[in-house]
Amino acid sequence: MFPLPFDFMHWLWIALLAYAFYYPLFMSYLWMVGALHYYFHYERKDPPLDSPPELDYPPVSILIPCFNEEENVAETLRYALAIDYPEFEVIAINDGSDDDTARLLDEAAARDPRLRVVHLAQNQGKAMALNTGCLMARHEYLVCVDGDSLLEPHAAKWLVRQMMSSPRVGAVTGNPRIRNRSTLLGKVQVGEFSSIIGIIKRAQRTYGRLFTISGVIAGFRKTAVRQAGYWSDDVLTEDIDMSWKLQLAHWDVRFEPHAQAWILMPETFRGLWKQRLRWAKGGLQVLLRSAGSLAHWQKRRMWPIYTEYLFSAAWAYLMVLLVAVWLVGLFLPQLDWMQTASPLIPSWNGLVLGMTCLLQFLISKWLDRRYDYDVGRNFFWMIWYPLVFWMIHIVTTVVALPQAIARNRGLRARWTSPDRGVKA
């Protein structure tokens, strides 16, 4: 063994610090550039939100999987049955709810013949509920929403329009908007869905492939779902899994910002932690499963998005390492390379990242002005985003990886009632 150069650890440390700083900075500007390209190339040419193109729209089936949604399902059904669409059916799948959901669904079905209700005897998970609804749907085009989602009147037309534009479009992800904005967490998530999720989806569409469909509102071609093997019932995030299965099967997945649904999000740290941990574990599950398939040259268009997620996971682990080294350096001052500023206290680099975050939100506010005019009210709350949500992302990624590796394949992913926050 040859001894390492005297300053090897010093230069390695410099390289790790550079990666920790420049990776989120680079990705932020990459997303902003991609989102602006998407807007000027696609979005700017579209008509207003309430004026979808006049086309000969085919019939559509709206699938609503429900589990313990007694507080929200009546309102969700009312919005779904009131959409502006020539011919549609609504299928509500009660996945073994143990509250009053079943009675509310049956009463609604008795009032409107366009609604059909399916009751599953036991809680089988959202994927099984979607598979059941897909098999029972009469039509080729599906619109899937959660049990708390409120569909905008023209959302189905915007989703189906994308699938009508090309026979290779297998799915279209909509544009969910947060409706509970009464707490700091709620206000920050309003900005997150606009400045982070909305911009990323636009950029990913520009660069070729989407990481995930939004499970709360999405359109599907039934033929594509069948070819992909339906929704996997042993994955914690069935929306990410289906997104990858469709694209690996060479179906196109698109983003439609005009297709909106208003949703409820967690407004407690406990609820937010459970949600983001599930997202992290589900995303890592899909990446671990897809690793073998991506070795083929025919799947090369998925390589950039796979690589980006790997870099994101590596960044999370690196941030934990930086904190650990900083803490050790406090007690071992003789190790020069460990003497560094706290990664938890913003300095000049933190200021640069913070200003970039605000610039990203400013651009996203400009992009989303036609969909959610009030989103700008949450602009200055976004200064908390790096502090709160980056920390949650880092910790959930580190915790999720070993759990995703250890989780048995074939173990059914059943859902529990999430934290819906406080309705505004």
pLDDT tens, 179-215? 877 777 777 777 777 667 889 999 999 998 999 999 8
Amino acid occupying residue 213: I
Indicate if the pLDDT at residue 335 is higher than 70.
no
| 420 pLDDT tier (thresholds 50, 70, 90) | low
Lowest mean pLDDT among 4-8, 240-244, 385-389: 4-8
User: Alpha-carbon distance 107 to 118, whole Å?
Assistant: 13
User: Alpha-carbon distance 72 to 161, whole Å?
Assistant: 28
CB within 8 Å of 287: residues ≥ 6 apart: 306, 309, 310
Can you read off the two tokens belonging to residue 376?
């700008």
Lowest mean pLDDT among 54-68, 140-154, 263-277, 384-398: 384-398
User: Alpha-carbon distance 20 to 293, whole Å?
Assistant: 30
Q: Hey, which residues does 141 pair with through a beta bridge?
A: 60, 221
Indicate if the pLDDT at residue 77 is higher than 80.
yes
Predicted structure pTM score: 0.88
User: Alpha-carbon distance 257 to 368, whole Å?
Assistant: 9
Can you read off the two tokens belonging to residue 315?
């960044």
User: Alpha-carbon distance 265 to 194, whole Å?
Assistant: 14
User: Alpha-carbon distance 40 to 138, whole Å?
Assistant: 37
Lowest mean pLDDT among 92-106, 111-125, 236-250, 311-325: 311-325
351 touches 22 (CB < 8 A): no
Query: Measured between alpha carbons, how far is residue 310 from residues 205, 283, 288, 319 in Å?
Result: 19, 11, 10, 14
User: Alpha-carbon distance 20 to 343, whole Å?
Assistant: 9
Which sequence spans correspond to the domains of the chain?
A: 8-35+302-406, 47-271
Indicate if the pLDDT at residue 92 is higher than 50.
yes
The residue ranking higher by pLDDT, 138 or 233, is 138
Can you read off the two tokens belonging to residue 37?
């390209």
162 touches 251 (CB < 8 A): no
pLDDT of residue 2: 44
Q: Which residue has the tokens 């406090």?
A: 330
The C-alpha angle 57, 59, 63, rounded to 5 degrees, equals 125
- Mean model confidence pLDDT for the chain: 86
pLDDT tens, 7-43? 666 677 778 888 888 898 899 999 999 999 999 999 9
Homologous superfamily (CATH) of 47-271 is Spore Coat Polysaccharide Biosynthesis Protein SpsA; Chain A (3.90.550.10)
